[in-house]
Amino acid sequence: MRQRGQLVDAALDKFVPRRDYFPAKLHSAVRHSLFSGGKRLRPVLVLAAAEACGGSARDVLPAACALECIHTYSLIHDDLPAMDDDDLRRGQPTCHKVFGEAAAILAGDGLLTLAFELMARCPVRDDRQLAAIRLLAQASGMAGMVGGQMADIDAEGEEVSLPLLQYIHTHKTGRLIQASVLIGGALAGGTPAQLKALGVFGETMGLAFQIADDILNVVGTQEQLGKSTGTDSARGKATYPAYFGLEESRRQAQALLERGLAALEPFGRRAAPLRALANFTVQREV
């Protein structure tokens, strides 16, 4: 992930305007958040899924960068006072704390629109490109991440049902992770069977990832996470530990991981990076 993350960082540095490019405040705000030390999980998943389907990582690199732009925009907006009102992200002051709320909103907007420009830059067949763009729009919009975020906000302080909890987690976080592997597979020309398997893997990994995040918010430290901990409980957030307890949450995350890994069996050794990423994502945190 470090090696491929460096590849993504180099591409992002090329695609995103320099800090001094007019209007400098906007581009400084974008770069502050984009290059703050993220793991680059979603773009690396794009690259790994493309290679699992026999494609080239270089051909899908712009799409990989697009996923990171979408993810970063969502974090900038999520940290705003109207949302979670967080002061720290990855150990650094959040975007609005440094540049103000207006610049943070516009930085997020800029990254969202840049993502779709980058999706159109992949040197692949038009039909594959259109399929990938559709996947990203569905996963990041009202039917995906944005819808999940709205449901998450509305559920604060409320007693939630298990279906609602699962909806929040699979949409707010899971859909973009699932889209990462599906986009990589689609751009690489994956077969219907391969895309179905990647869909199962991405869905289970996305939910397991969010459960692990919920657990870390309870047991992790600010030094470990680079942001405040214990915030989910303080805000009355709908989480797996709040609903099931820590041990059952850990068990469910592990069960999801195993189901996702089983879906990758038809890929053989070509899916080794995807397996490693899934194990790292879940087991390092729970």
Can you read off the two tokens belonging to residue 22?
């007019």
**pLDDT score, position 2:** 87
Would you place residue 226 in the very low, low, confident or very high pLDDT band (cuts 50, 70, 90)?
low
In whole angstroms, what is the distance from residue 115 CA to residue 113 CA?
5
**pLDDT score, position 222:** 58
- Greater confidence (264 vs 84) lies with 264
- Percent share of the chain, pLDDT over 90: 87
- Greater confidence (42 vs 220) lies with 42
- CB 20 within 8 Å of CB 29: no
Would you place residue 31 in the very low, low, confident or very high pLDDT band (cuts 50, 70, 90)?
very high
Q: What is the pLDDT of residues 169-203, one digit of tens each?
A: 999 999 999 999 999 999 999 999 999 999 999 99
Can you read off the two tokens belonging to residue 177?
């992770």
**pLDDT score, position 282:** 86
pTM: 0.93
- Report CA-CA distances (Å) from 101 to 24, 73, 86, 88, 93: 16, 13, 12, 14, 13
Question: Which amino acid, residue 211?
Answer: I
**Residue 240 predicted with pLDDT over 90:** yes
Cβ neighbours for 246, distance < 8 A, ≥ 6 positions apart: 215, 218, 219
In whole angstroms, what is the distance from residue 95 CA to residue 79 CA?
8
Average pLDDT over residues 216-238: 70
Identify which of 100-104, 216-220, 226-230 has the greatest average pLDDT: 100-104
In whole angstroms, what is the distance from residue 142 CA to residue 130 CA?
19
Q: Phi and psi for 172 in degrees, rounded to 5?
A: -60, -40
